């Protein structure tokens, strides 16, 4: 692990690892940790950046123009060293560009910029997926922040819930045994707009909304402080943990795992957006500590 990059206001502080441009810590004014404990018995991730794919590609490969390329689950950005290109007391910007190594997995020119900023009690993460090349850039992008469950405010784990901003009547995706998206669907566990958190919801992997209507959710317990997570640009949402772990992931996605058995071109993969040459896609996340 390299040196973490710190930003802060008097209400919130964050630490970001340049390896993966990954948010490792988010603390309130009293220094209480709002992120995962990263217990290696469960999962050592904190908030990986998912690019250029979200989820697991079928057989862990993508195809472009009749050629196959190896691609791990959630892509390579999370294991790539980003360059720190801007840093102040309240803002840090990281960048990753294509290279000989990335082109072994993904044969496209790209520049990925992740800007973290804190204003008052809100952490903003602003993403630019830039196409510097001369052909269209097919890509997916996802956030994967793991928040402390329970939050450090004295409530029991089973008191925690996630409240959606809108009604979500659709059935959820079912995750196949190989991590791809099965043809079957599963019933929504919501009670109205509320997801009451409990471990057995995640026995069969993540809860995945393929077409989310909400543009934010609120995570918390009782009348204690909560986290409002805004995701105005991402049409899909995953919520995940491993039973017994001390985190809950709220994952806004602009992409999704391959359908089970998918062998088509990456351009035809569900959840892919396309960036024209010289253009960019912007995707935002906001996390606000609400007292």
**What string of DSSP letters covers 18-39?**
TBTTEEEEEEETT--B-B----
Q: What pLDDT, on a 0 to 100 scale, did the predictor assign at position 256? A: 97
Output the pLDDT for position 2: 58
User: How far is 28 from 86, CA to CA, in rounded Å?
Assistant: 24
The CA–CA distances, whole Å, from 84 to 182, 183, 269 equal 39, 42, 32
Q: How many CB atoms lie within 10 A of CB 85?
A: 11
Query: Phi and psi for 158 in degrees, rounded to 5?
Result: -75, -5
244-272 confidence digits (pLDDT tens): 999 999 999 999 999 999 999 999 999 99
The rounded distance, in Å, linking the Cα atoms of 277 and 273 is: 13
Sequence-ordered list of residues with C-beta below 8 angstroms from that of 66, at least 6 positions apart, any chain: none
Rounded Cα distance between 196 and 161, Å, is 4
pLDDT at 159: 97
Nearest Cα neighbor of 34 from 117, 121, 147 is 147
DSSP 3-state assignment of 47?
coil
Residue 98 pLDDT > 70? yes
> Averaged over 190-208, what is the pLDDT?
97
Other CB atoms within 10 A of residue 255 CB: 24
Rounded mean pLDDT, 60-85 = 97
Over 60: is that where the pLDDT of 1 sits? no
Q: What percent of the chain has pLDDT over 90?
A: 98
- Distance, in Å, from the CA atom of 99 to the CA atom of 97, rounded to the nearest integer, reads 6
DSSP 200-265: GGGTTS-EEESS---SEEEEEETTS-EEEEE-TT-SEEEEE--TT-SEEEEEEEES-PPBTT--S-
Cα-Cα-Cα-Cα dihedral of 14, 17, 20, 26, to 10°? -20
> What is the pLDDT confidence band of residue 222, given thresholds at 50, 70 and 90?
confident
Q: Are the CB atoms for 215 and 165 separated by under 8 Å?
A: yes
Q: What does the buried/exposed string (b/e) look like for 156-193 if buried means 16 or more CB atoms within 10 Å of the residue's CB? A: eeeebbbbbeeebeeebbebbeebbbbeeeeeeebeee
**Backbone torsions φ then ψ of 271, nearest 5 degrees:** 90, -5
How far is the C-alpha of 179 from the C-alpha of 15, rounded, in Å? Answer: 30
**In the prediction, which pLDDT does 161 show?**
98
Tell me the pLDDT of the chain averaged across its residues: 97
Topology of domain 5-290, CATH: Beta-galactosidase; Chain A, domain 5 (2.70.98)
Query: Any idea what DSSP says for residue 178?
Result: T
Q: Indicate whether 218 pLDDT > 70.
A: yes
Tell me what percent of the residues of the chain surpass a pLDDT of 70. Answer: 99
Q: What local confidence, expressed as pLDDT, does residue 223 receive?
A: 87
């Amino acid at each position: 692990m390299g040196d973490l990059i710190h930003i802060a206001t008097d209400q919130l502080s964050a630490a970001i690892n340049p390896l993966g441009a990954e948010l490792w810590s988010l603390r309130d004014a009293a220094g209480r940790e709002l992120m995962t404990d990263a217990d290696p018995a469960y999962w050592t991730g904190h908030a990986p950046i998912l690019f250029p794919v979200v989820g697991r590609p079928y057989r862990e490969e993508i195809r472009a123009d009749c050629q196959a390329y190896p691609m791990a689950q959630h892509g390579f950005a999370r294991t790539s060293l980003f360059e720190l290109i801007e840093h102040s007391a309240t803002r840090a910007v990281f960048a990753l560009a294509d290279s000989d190594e990335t082109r072994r997995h993904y044969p496209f020119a790209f520049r990925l910029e992740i800007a973290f900023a804190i204003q008052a009690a809100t952490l903003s993460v602003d993403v630019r997926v830039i196409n510097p090349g001369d052909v269209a850039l097919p890509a997916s992008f996802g956030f994967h922040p793991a928040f402390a469950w329970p939050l450090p405010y004295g409530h029991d784990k089973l008191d925690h819930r996630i409240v959606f901003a809108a009604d979500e009547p659709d059935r959820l995706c079912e995750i196949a045994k190989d991590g791809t998206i099965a043809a079957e669907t599963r019933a929504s566990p919501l009670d109205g707009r509320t997801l009451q958190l409990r471990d057995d919801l995640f026995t069969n992997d993540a809860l995945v909304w393929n077409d989310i209507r909400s543009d934010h959710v609120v995570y918390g317990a009782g009348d204690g402080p909560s986290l409002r997570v805004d995701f105005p640009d991402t049409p899909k949402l995953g919520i995940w943990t491993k039973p017994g772990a001390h985190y809950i992931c709220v994952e806004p996605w602009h992409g999704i795992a391959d359908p089970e058995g998918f062998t088509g071109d990456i351009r035809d993969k569900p959840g892919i957006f396309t960036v024209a040459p010289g253009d960019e896609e912007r995707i935002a996340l906001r996390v606000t500590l609400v007292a």
